[in-house]
Amino acid sequence: MADFQFGMNDYGVGVQAQQTVAFTQGWDVHRLALTFEVTARGNYTVDAPFLASGDLWVHDMPSPASYIGALHAPTGPVALKSFKTQFVLETTVTDRQLRGLEKLRAGADLALRAQLTLTALTETKHWPVARDQEIIRVPHATWSNALTQLDAGAFVDVLIPITTVESRATGARRIREAETAIRDGRYEHAVALARAALDPVREACDTHRVNMEALKKKPAERDQEERWAVFIQSAFNLFSGAPHDDAGTTENFTWTRADAVAAVTAAAGLLARLEDLP
C-alpha cells in the first residue's frame, strides 16, 4: 500500500491498488482504467478534497521502454471519508504498447508501478503534496480477459488435469517448466520440453503404430484416430529438432518465442485431451 503523510503527524492517506482493469476501446489507442482503494487516518477532515495524479510504468520487467503514460483522475478530486472508498485513475495505451506488454509478461501476471502524487486542495497547513509508489499486480486471467473484450487479442488457457498416472503428471510438469523457459527467453529449451511432454500422449494414443497404418492411406481416406496420430507424430518430429543437432538438418533450426509458444500450447492441449481418453 502506498502511504502519503501530510504534516509531521497530522494525518495520512493509504492508497492500495485493486487487481482489476478496464479498457475503453479507441482507434489504435485505448483508455486503461485502474482502481485504487483509499483509507484515511489521523486528524483529517471528512470530505477534504485531494487531487490524485501520477505516471504508470512497467514494473520489474526487463525492457528499456518501461514508461506507459500519465495517470489522471477523470472524475475530479478524491474526498476523504471515515470509511474505505475507491477512485479510478486512467491513462492511454496504444496497440503497440499492448503488444509489447504481452511479449514482456509472456503469460505471467502483469506487474505495473504507479508513481502517485496526492495534492491537498484545502486546509493546507503544511506542504500540500505527498508522493509514493504503488505496485499493481494484475492476474494473467484478468488482464487476458480485458484484452479479449478489447478485441486486441485472444488467449487460450489449457488446464491439464491432476492425474495419478506418473507419465502424464511428468508431462504436466514439463509444460510448467516450458512456460518458465519461455519467460526466461530460452525458446529452444521450451520446445525440447514440449517434445518431452508428448511422450505420454504418444504412449496413450499408440501413436507410432496408428501413424504407420495411416501413412499407407491417402490423407482423405484416414479416419479420425489416424488423423490425430499423424498430427501428434508430426508435432513430435518437429519439436525433436530442438534437442537434436543432426548434421545438415536440425543443426540449422532456429526457434523464436512464437515458435515456443505454439509448441508448448500444442503439447499442453494434447496432454489435456487425454482426460477424455480411456
In-domain check, residue 156:
no
User: Same domain for 138 and 173?
Assistant: no
Which of 109, 105, 134, 104 lies closest to 4 in space, CA to CA?
Answer: 134
Contact (CB, 8 A) for 53 and 117: yes
pLDDT at residue number 234 = 95
Residue 34: all three cell numbers together: 485502474
User: Same domain for 31 and 126?
Assistant: yes
User: Same domain for 214 and 137?
Assistant: no
Give one DSSP letter per residue of the chain, joined into a string: -EEEEETTTTEEEEEEEEEEEEEE--SSEEEEEEEEEEEEEES--TT-EEEEEEEEEE-S-S-S--EEEEEE-TT--EE--SS-EEEEEEEEEEHHHHHHHHHHHTTS-EEEEEEEEEEE-S--SS--EEEEEEEEEE-HHHHHHHHHHHTS-----------S-HHHHHHHHHHHHHHHHHHTT-HHHHHHHHHHHTHHHHHHTTHHHHHHHHTTS-GGG--HHHHHHHHHHHHHHHHTTTT---TTTGGG----HHHHHHHHHHHHHHHHHGGG--
User: Same domain for 54 and 141?
Assistant: yes
Residue 150 pLDDT more than 80?
A: no
Q: Report the C-alpha gap between 176 and 268 in whole angstroms.
A: 10
Record the pTM: 0.63
216-237 pLDDT, tens per residue? 999 999 999 999 999 999 999 9
If you search the block for the grid coordinates 537434436, which residue do you land on? Answer: 244
Give the pairing of strands 78-79 and 85-94.
unpaired
Q: Report the C-alpha gap between 220 and 223 in whole angstroms.
A: 8
Question: How many C-beta neighbours within 10 Å does residue 140 have?
Answer: 14
User: Same domain for 80 and 35?
Assistant: yes
If you search the block for the grid coordinates 506507459, which residue do you land on? Answer: 68
User: Same domain for 24 and 125?
Assistant: yes
In-domain check, residue 157:
no
User: Same domain for 183 and 134?
Assistant: no
6-47 pLDDT, tens per residue? 876 678 899 999 999 999 988 888 999 999 999 998 888 889
User: Same domain for 146 and 255?
Assistant: no
User: Same domain for 20 and 121?
Assistant: yes
Which of 165, 118, 174 lies closest to 3 in space, CA to CA?
Answer: 118
Q: Domain range spanning residue 254?
A: 166-276
Q: What residue type is assigned to position 115 of the chain?
A: Q
92-145 pLDDT, tens per residue? 999 889 888 888 887 788 999 999 999 988 866 678 888 999 999 999 889 988
Contact (CB, 8 A) for 148 and 122: no
Q: What CATH number has the domain bearing residue 193?
A: 1.20.120
If you search the block for the grid coordinates 485504487, which residue do you land on? Answer: 36
58-101 pLDDT, tens per residue? 997 766 678 999 999 999 998 989 999 999 999 999 988 988 88
Q: What residue type is assigned to position 92 of the chain?
A: T
Q: What residue type is assigned to position 143 of the chain?
A: W
Residues in the chain: 278
User: Same domain for 41 and 129?
Assistant: yes
Q: What CATH number has the domain bearing residue 111?
A: 2.60.40.10
Q: Report the C-alpha gap between 235 and 40 in whole angstroms.
A: 58
193-213 pLDDT, tens per residue? 999 999 999 999 999 999 999
The last residue of one of the domains, among 124, 150, 176, is 150
